[in-house]
Structure 1
Amino acid sequence: MPVSMPSRPKEVKLFRNNRSQAVRIPAEFELPGDRVLIHREGDKLIIEPVTKPSNIVELIAARKTESPLGLKDEFPEIEDMPAKPENIF
């Protein structure tokens, strides 16, 4: 995604969507995709698009930031039954 110059702030409406607060994002601030990351820096909320790795180097870098697998992530033991002869005619 190309880097753009900072834009002037624009006042927008906040509203309720069920139990969540939502913000109307004007077209000139539209983000790609259908998911975003949101985090707080002091009293500011930062909203940024979720980007997917575009090559193997980015994929490996993204995986390195994930926490290691724990015991709950291990595959369960499965009894491997021997194959039975089948009559296919």
Structure 2
Amino acid sequence: MSADFDIAETLDVKGASCPMPVVKTKTTIDDLDAGEVLEVLATDPGSMSDIDGWAAGTDGVELVDQTEESDVYRHYVRKTE
């Protein structure tokens, strides 16, 4: 993957189903500094829309990218404030 951002931390929520990927993403991103990017690894296909929707409706975060590789969904969320 060629990304134009550095990953500050990786959160592995593989095996967790809704709503845990979003809950753990929120908890983890709260501990990051503004501008840092969190990589979230999930196996729940619903995490694609769940994390997208959460980021769109949450001030202070931005969904930078999402990819799918070998049944692993990768989400990149930047803390903006």
- Normalized against structure 2, the TM-score is what? 0.31
Higher Cα Rg, which structure? 1
Bigger strand fraction? 2
Q: Which has a greater percent of helix?
A: 2
